[in-house]
Structure 1
Amino acid sequence: MSDPVPTGRHTVVIVDDHAMFRAGVRAELGSSVAVLAEAADVDEAVAAVTAHRPAVVLLDVHLPGGGGSEVMRRYAASPGAAEAPTRFLALSVSDAAEDVIGTIRAGARGYVTKTITGPELVAAIDRVASGDAVFSPRLAGFVLDAFAGTIEVAAVDEDLDRLTEREREVMRLIARGYSYREVGAELFISTKTVETHMSSVLRKLQLSSRHELTRWASDRRLL
């Protein structure tokens, strides 16, 4: 039998495939919310959310096993999900339009990036738990543009689709001017692993330099 949650604290499940990041989020949240469980991939996430029925799920977009959208899809199909008030708040390093729109279409009530502060995240959880939609300022524009028909998010870029989820994360950060060391620190991977992913990205996209990659990403509104 689980311990009772103190009155006034929202219950949360943290879903991210990086243990260090989950620990950091838990520390930032402190005693403001009650973290019921953590999960590192889609299967673990579905099991944890189904078992605990938290008020809010902090959900990374890119996860082993199918991504955040797959977690929401499978949870929505589980028995009792329709009666449970669980809401999903995406917390991701990615602020690309297709990730934001795809995640919202899959059922998330909000989307914030990992640059958010602890107090801001607590406030976002409170708002999402209350039924509001929450977005980082720049991301709100993507959502408005998508529903206004200004940007086309249904079409899948064949070049982008060649990349793995991790390669996409590395690609976007490198294209924004991050050093290999900075990318490694952001994604909790080694500099050598970043170099390996970058080589794969350039090979798959048939590009020869960081400059070409930045231009390629900019043309596709991925920055």
Structure 2
Amino acid sequence: MTSQGSGQPAERRGPVRVFLVDDHALFRAGVRAELDSAAGDVEVVGEAGSVAEAVAGIVHRQPDVVLLDVHMPEGGGAEVLRRVRPDHPGVVFLALSVSDAAEDVIAVIRAGARGYVTKTISGHELARSIRRVAEGDAVFSPRLAGFVLDAFSERPGAAPVGDPELDLLTPRERDVLRLLARGYAYKEIAAELFISVKTVETHVSSVLRKTQLSNRYELSRWATDRRLV
């Protein structure tokens, strides 16, 4: 879903210069390959796997668009935004995440991202989304735009952003819980998040302890009640 601001966005000529930020090198390589095949529409000019590398690389390269992972150590995508945007307002940020949780979407948009798409997006649609945000549009994956409208709306019934119980979980624990509630096996979760099965088990144990639940079926209900699924 793409929403436009007032007026028509200015058309760009030539490829959009893109900087990739994600803490998984394998995922960055996959995204770079997809974008490199986008018929010259985008050009990857750099990449980074940490907040510090991202800040330094963005400042040096001055890309048109930063494709930004939400969940990384040392503050994640929001920290990159906080450290770059004040002095480089011309750089546009598009969040790309496995998470489609309302709190993640809202947090990164509040920090200054122009759009938010999930990692299920196709290479063609990703290239199109990058160009759209470069041209001034706000771009969201299906169903995510509603979270943003609710968060910035004062109308009655708008969805609450915070949840004290959810706040106990780390971003990665939420990712694991969300996939678990969707019926993914541990091996599938590990493959989706680029982590080991042992790490998945550790996260599940931690979530069970924090929520004081006893099995994955109770966790699934708990996640569903909080609209994580």
TM-score by length of 1: 0.90
1:182 aligns with 2:188: yes
* 137, 149, 152: which one aligns with 1:144: 149
Deviation at 1:46, TM superposition (A): 0.9
* 103, 110, 125: which one aligns with 2:115: 110
Residue number in structure 2 paired with 1:91: 96
**RMSD of aligned C-alpha atoms?**
1.3
Residues 110-137 of structure 1, C-alpha deviations (whole Å, 9 max, x = no match): 0000000000000000001001000011
- Give 3-state SS (helix, strand or coil) of 1:148's partner: coil
Q: Greater RCO between the two (CA within 8 Å, min separation 6)?
A: 2
> CA separation in 2, counterparts of 1:209 and 1:68?
32
TM-score by length of 2: 0.88
Deviation at 1:164, TM superposition (A): 2.1
Residues 67-112 of structure 1, C-alpha deviations (whole Å, 9 max, x = no match): 111110110233xx13xx2100000000001111111111011000
Residue number in structure 1 paired with 2:175: 169
> CA separation in 1, counterparts of 2:98 and 2:86?
27
> CA separation in 2, counterparts of 1:217 and 1:207?
12
Deviation at 1:177, TM superposition (A): 1.3
Residue number in structure 1 paired with 2:84: 75
* Structure 1: runs of 5 or more not aligned: 1-6
Residue number in structure 1 paired with 2:132: 127
Residue number in structure 1 paired with 2:8: none
1:48 aligns with 2:57: yes
Deviation at 1:218, TM superposition (A): 1.5
Residues 151-172 of structure 1, C-alpha deviations (whole Å, 9 max, x = no match): 111x3x2322222222121111
Residue number in structure 1 paired with 2:73: 64
Deviation at 1:147, TM superposition (A): 2.3
Letter of the 2:122 counterpart: T
Residue number in structure 1 paired with 2:19: 13
* Structure 2: runs of 5 or more not aligned: 1-12
> CA separation in 1, counterparts of 2:50 and 2:86?
18
> CA separation in 1, counterparts of 2:149 and 2:183?
27
Letter of the 2:18 counterpart: V
Letter of the 1:219 counterpart: D
